[in-house]
Chains A and B, each alone.
Chain A
Amino acid sequence: MNNTPQSENVLEIRDLFIAYEPGRYAVKDVSAHVRRNSITAIMGPSGCGKSTLLRAMNRMHELYPNIETKGDILLDGQSIFSMSVIELRRKVGMVFQRPNPFPNMTIYENVVAGFSLNDIRLKKSQRDDIVENALRNVALWDEVKESLYRKGTFLSGGQQQRLCVARAIAFNPEVLLLDEPTSALDPIATSKIEDLLGELKKKYTLVLVTHNMSQAARISDDSMFMYLGELVESGHTNTLFTTPKDPRTEAYLTGKFG
């Protein structure tokens, strides 16, 4: 760990191109940055490359064997492509569209799964602390403290999603990536998650993919608008929503497409 004062930008994306098949770019020449302790929303119509860009930030996109990546992403000034993926993914956690707790594990085991799956041995008391803290941070503790040893899949969809957030933050990552985390949830569960994200940004940096404009407007500090793989426009959410510079952004915001 270096002790230099941490810059405001946690992530720097530089001239990033990603293609699933040679020559067909899902992400085209994207340069952007993500500020510390903020929520950055990535918006755009379906298929424009939001997930691909997000997954690149912890190299989950490399799970597709034929994927081609050009350009660079820096985490605290260091290229993520020069780190080990294991180290990177501990610093940059991820929450998915559909809640995906491990079905063979209890609620408790799910929260500490990141440790057990990496053979990191902890004392029982340490584990208990991590579980309680993480569950408190996602406002799930009071709901599940009596049933920590039940399977996580017994919870409701919204609770499962908060459990997945707890699992991701148990490692105390720097950045949390969220890919449409509320699209499978009902409005009440959605608003609980949105409240939660507002709390979490005090400790973590959040990047949120959403196709829901009002969600982006409600909770994000910065926004990126993507279209056909390109980053059309990015900046403070307020500015981008009130005075979009690019006609495509304006068209999207006024519901002309997407």
Chain B
Amino acid sequence: MHPELTDNIARRNRTNGRFRYLVIAGSVITVVPIFLIVGNLAIKGYRQINLAFFTKPAPDTFQAMMAAASGEIIPGGIANGLTGSLLMVLLASFIAIPLGLMTGIFVYENGTRRYARFIRSLTEILQGVPSIILGIIAYLWVVKNITRGYSALAGSVSLAIMMLPLIIRSTEETMRMIPIAIREAAFALGTPYYKMIYKILIPVSFSGLATGVLLALSRILGETAPLMLTALGSPAVSFDVTRPVSAVPLLIWDFYNDPNMVSLVWSASLFLMFFVLSMNLLARSVASKHKYI
């Protein structure tokens, strides 16, 4: 071989080697903080996690202070936040999932029409709107005009608006992967249009749709800012959608602001993180299980 060529190969190998180390170093730098966060939360938070943590509402300052002073674990838990989150997430899903799926399918089916293109760009814009602004919007719509006061409904609306663009986009992208031949096969059997959608398109793309929904859910579970302007928070467990409710992230914020409850910050965060993580894992397993396309 020509000497210059061998030289060249040796140099390339060196560059390759260096680049590999760079990539490995980069991935370590990203992974380490994740483990630090989880480890930190686990060490500081595990002590508070017991049955009462899930069944009792948040303690008041005085109880917490007494417990902290005598070195006991703080009584009470996050039941009010848990129920509030559940209520609002359910309600938000109730609004956003059907609306998002229908809009996503509409945009996909009418991809080239002006109105559909307009909706698609609107969706992209909506995805970039800071969540606090969605809170302000829900405040203006719902708090001011409908429930006339802070309410779970207002919180749900702000969360639903956050979910919408995520679901619409994932729906459209999932539908796009279905081969045209599958639709044609359905039409050739005399299937009416709407049945083709709900008996073929939706089942065939089920895993993609479900993944989109689960990722949207895991996204809103940790949202705090819009809830401050809408759901406000409540010390008691409540299922009244027209009244203020708490939420897990709102509680974390409350705990943080009370020097006597700091240890609850870690426990609640640990729980929230764990929950969102399981949601993501669930999304993955669903995505691989019902995959047809």
Contacts and interface: CB of A to CB of B under 8 A. Distances in A.
A153 B181 contact: no
Interface stretch (A69-77, A96-104, A124-132, A220-228): A96-104
Interface in B134-189: 179, 181-182, 184-189
Interface stretch (A9-17, A114-122, A140-148, A205-213): A114-122
B206 A104 contact: yes
A109 B292 CA distance: 15
A21 interface: no
A117 B204 contact: no
B185 A171 contact: no
A100 B185 contact: yes
Contacts of A101: 185
B181 A85 contact: no
A237 interface: no
A100 B206 CA distance: 18
A98 B185 CA distance: 11
Interface of A: 58, 60, 63, 85-90, 93-94, 96, 98, 100-104, 113-114, 116-119, 151, 153, 164, 167-168, 171
19 contacts: A85-B190, A87-B190, A88-B190, A93-B189, A94-B188, A96-B184, A96-B185, A100-B181, A100-B184, A100-B185, A102-B185, A103-B292, A104-B203, A104-B292, A117-B190, A117-B200, A118-B190, A118-B192, A168-B189
Nearest to A89: B190
Nearest to A93: B188
A78 B19 CA distance: 72
Interface of B: 179, 181-182, 184-192, 195-196, 199-200, 203-204, 206, 292-293
A93 B191 CA distance: 12
Contacts of A96: 181, 184-185, 188
A60 B185 CA distance: 10
B181 A103 contact: no
Contact of B189 (A63, A153, A171): A171
B206 A118 contact: no
B189 A114 contact: yes
Contacts of B186: 102, 113, 117
Nearest to B203: A104
Given A96-B185, A102-B182, A118-B189, 15 more contacts: A60-B184, A60-B188, A86-B192, A88-B190, A90-B189, A100-B181, A100-B182, A103-B204, A104-B206, A114-B189, A117-B195, A117-B199, A118-B190, A167-B189, A168-B188
A50 B186 CA distance: 21
Nearest to A90: B190
A85 B189 CA distance: 10
A78 to B, nearest CB: 16
B191 A117 contact: yes
Contacts of A102: 182, 185-186, 200, 204
B38 to A, nearest CB: 37
Contacts of A113: 186, 189
A164 to B, nearest CB: 7
A21 B179 CA distance: 24
